Amino acid sequence: MKHNIYHILRGKFLVSDDSFKNWRIIIFISVLAIVMIASSHSADQKVHDIARLGNDVKEWRSAFVDGRSKLMRLKMESGIIQKMAEKEIAPSSIPPKKIKVKSEDN
């Protein structure tokens, strides 16, 4: 046991005659570790992108609701009357009359 640990610490398994199979395993494990790290970074980047897009959606939704409420206030009759009063235009005191057109076929 002591002999095997001593060979590992000195690195004899890397320079011995049958070290080719050891190097293949080491290189294979290193490539797998690099692929795993790259995959983890890619997943983290996607999580950050999803969070950023979620915040953008919330921001655009609040801007939409704000714009819609401003439009509703502008379309209110009282708001239109105030804007027209600034231009000295008042609503008619005579109510509108409905005009009916009779066709000659009747």
Residue with tokens 């320079």: 15
Q: Which two tokens stand for residue 36?
A: 């795993």
At 10-46, the pLDDT tens digits run 777 777 777 777 788 889 999 999 999 999 999 999 9
Query: Computed from CA positions of residues 26, 29, 34, 37, in that sequence, does the dihedral angle turn out positive or negative?
Result: negative
Q: Which amino acid is at 1?
A: M
Q: What is the pLDDT of residue 106?
A: 56
At 65-97, the pLDDT tens digits run 999 999 998 888 888 888 888 898 888 889 889
Instruction: Supply the pTM of this predicted model.
Output: 0.54
